[in-house]
Structure 1
Amino acid sequence: MQQTPSNNRPRFPSGGDKRLEMRFDKAFPVIVGSEIFGDAPAVARNISLSGMMIEMADPLPLGSFVTVHFRMPDSGHDIVARAEVKHQYCFNFSREGGPLRARGVGLRFVEFISESGELWQETLSRYRVLH
């Protein structure tokens, strides 16, 4: 990663992974709450310290702010975060029986509620040691 002189933002080589943090491929249930769209069950598929990709039946609009409630596997603590919808995804694939699709959104955490931030960092630190 290189620094650009004009704005000191990282510049990445083309085609490289632009992720700044380690990601974990975990699948676990989450509840996504929105003041406008209500609560919706979803499944977290890919998670890092700064955000997560979740699969949900009806993806929320880009720029929406939501509250995400989740519990990491092997952790007894509930984590609550405010997040912004930054990306929308549609995965098309096929299985025996025909074509299927899965839809989801990429969320960027903007804040953790109460002690959730410390619990989240502690949980991810534990996973880094295990892998």
Structure 2
Amino acid sequence: MNERRAHLRFDKVFTVYLTTQDGMTRGIGRNISARGLFVETREPVPLGEKLKITFAGEDGTEMTCLCEVRYQVALAYGKRDGREGNSRGVGLRIVAYETQDEAPLLLVDRERVMH
């Protein structure tokens, strides 16, 4: 099967912070590219919702991007010990990045790309 994605993916597990209209929560970022990423979440996030994702480095640096929810995933599976397991997440399209040079945050637009 051929890979349809045009951009290289970075398959790494890392903590991200999601800011929605309802507040802030933590998620697990996975499979990030220049145009999007997948985030495991505790609660569902509606399709099309705009949210901010903040990446925090171990050295205290932060980067925030504005994203749009493109799809949702809910997975139920059996664990080795026989118990049930589950996972939930959202596929996000990166719409813009926030940069902080002086005081105000600047939203840097990105071209619209469909995943």
What TM-score comes out, normalization by structure 2 length? 0.78
Structure with greater strand percent:
2
- The Cα offsets for residues 75-105 of structure 1, whole Å up to 9 and x where unpaired, read as 7531100000001011222211412110000
Any unmatched runs of 5+ in structure 1? Answer: 1-14, 117-131
- The Cα offsets for residues 37-59 of structure 1, whole Å up to 9 and x where unpaired, read as 21111000211111110000102
Structure with greater helix percent:
1
| Partners of 2:30 and 2:76 in 1: CA distance | 16
Any unmatched runs of 5+ in structure 2? Answer: 102-115
Runs of 4+ deviating beyond 4 Å:
none
Secondary structure class of the residue paired with 1:57: coil
Query: Where do residues 31-50 of structure 1 align in structure 2 (5 Å cutoff)?
Result: 31-35=17-21, 37-50=22-35
| Partners of 2:56 and 2:7 in 1: CA distance | 20
Asked if residue 103 in structure 1 is aligned to residue 88 in structure 2, the reply is yes
Which residue is equivalent to 2:71?
87
| Partners of 2:30 and 2:23 in 1: CA distance | 21
Which has the larger Rg? 1
Which residue is equivalent to 2:11?
25
Secondary structure class of the residue paired with 2:99: coil
Aligned-residue RMSD, C-alpha: 1.9
Q: Which amino acid aligns with 1:22?
A: L
The answer to whether the 8 A contact 1:28-1:72 is kept is no
What TM-score comes out, normalization by structure 1 length? 0.69
Number of matched pairs = 100
